[in-house]
């Protein structure tokens, strides 16, 4: 279950990276780089923070398959760049929803306390997207006040950790939590939900 959900999440995030490469006019090498950062970056950050040796993405070539597949399906236009931003954000939301669940699950399996599980789950979810956007010279979604991004990741990580602590986490719970986080992220984008700015009443920029 863990492997399947991680591979699906990796593919979804990698597609978002490849689509961003299309938006930026990059070549296929740039597409592969952005897809790799988006699809594997969050997991690498998680594994490094856990200190469990070589990150899974580097030790298991299987994780490269969804990245290469994502680049190819975008290259041959099976996933088209029509309405590019909407498509990119949809795949990004899929990756976000799956990785916050898997990140928390892996952190819990490593013996971390509940607070650390939530933090690491959210970091896994937002890390790859942040790396993708920074390298492509885009404002990372985590810093975009429109369409809450980090909040759903924290919510999904908290729900996963709670289910694990209560001993009720299983495949159905994992899929249910991920689906719920995807819906929240989709609604946040559709209705342009916002999180509070860094200051209550910002004055004029000087």
For the chain, give the mean pLDDT: 91
pLDDT score recorded for residue 85: 61
Residue 131 backbone class (left: φ over 0; alpha: ψ -120 to 50; beta: rest): alpha
Residue length, the chain? 206
Please give the radius of gyration of the chain, using alpha carbons only, rounded to the nearest integer: 17
Indicate whether 131 pLDDT > 80. yes
Question: Which residue has 């790396």 as its token pair?
Answer: 131
Q: How far, in Å, are 105, 153, 159, 162, 175 from residue 168 at the CA level?
A: 12, 20, 11, 9, 13
Please check the confidence at residue 66 and state whether its pLDDT lies above 90.
yes
- For range 22-28, the mean pLDDT: 94
User: What is the pLDDT averaged over residues 179-206?
Assistant: 82
Contact 171, 55 (CB under 8 A): no
Paired tokens of 45: 């950050």
pLDDT at site 203: 58
The contacts of residue 137 (CB under 8 Å, 6+ apart) are 24
Percent of residues, the chain, with pLDDT higher than 90: 72
This prediction's pTM: 0.90
Over residues 68-115, the pLDDT tens digits come to 999 999 999 988 766 556 788 889 999 999 999 999 999 999 999 999
Helices (H), the chain: 2-24, 28-50, 56-59, 64-75, 84-109, 114-135, 150-166, 171-190
Mean pLDDT (whole number) for 53-71: 92
Do residues 178 and 5 lie in contact, with contact meaning Cβ atoms separated by under 8 Å? yes
Whether 10 shows a pLDDT value over 60: the answer reads yes
Task: From 51, 47, 56, select the one nearest 127 (Cα to Cα).
Answer: 47
Average pLDDT (7-26) is 95
* Residue keyed to tokens 């559709």: 190
Question: Which of 70-84, 124-138, 152-166 shows the lowest mean pLDDT across its residues?
Answer: 70-84
Residue 190's pLDDT is 86
Q: What is the mean pLDDT of residues 164-182?
A: 96
Nearest to 54 by CA among 43, 68, 65: 43
The pLDDT value recorded for residue 88 is 87
CB 34 within 8 A of CB 130: no
Identify which of 104, 136, 133, 143 has the alpha carbon closest to the alpha carbon of residue 120.
Answer: 104
């Amino acid at each position: 279950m863990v492997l399947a959900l991680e591979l699906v999440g990796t593919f979804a995030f990698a597609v978002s990276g490849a689509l961003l490469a299309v938006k930026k006019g990059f070549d296929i090498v740039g597409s592969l780089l952005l897809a790799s950062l988006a699809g594997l970056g969050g997991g690498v950050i998680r594994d490094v923070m856990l200190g469990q040796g070589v990150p899974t993405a580097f030790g298991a070539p299987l994780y490269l398959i969804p990245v290469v597949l994502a680049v190819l399906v975008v290259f041959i236009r099976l996933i088209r760049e029509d309405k590019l931003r909407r498509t990119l954000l949809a795949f990004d939301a899929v990756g976000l929803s799956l990785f916050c669940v898997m990140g928390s699950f892996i952190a819990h399996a490593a013996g971390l306390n509940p607070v650390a599980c939530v933090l690491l789950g959210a970091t896994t979810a937002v890390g790859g997207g942040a790396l993708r956007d920074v390298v492509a010279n885009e404002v990372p979604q985590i810093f975009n006040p429109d369409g809450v991004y980090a909040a759903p990741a924290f919510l999904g990580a908290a729900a996963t950790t709670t289910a694990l602590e209560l001993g009720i986490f299983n495949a159905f719970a994992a899929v249910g939590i991920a689906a719920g986080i995807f819906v929240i992220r989709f609604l946040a984008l559709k209705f342009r939900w916002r999180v509070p700015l860094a200051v209550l009443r910002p004055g004029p920029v000087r």
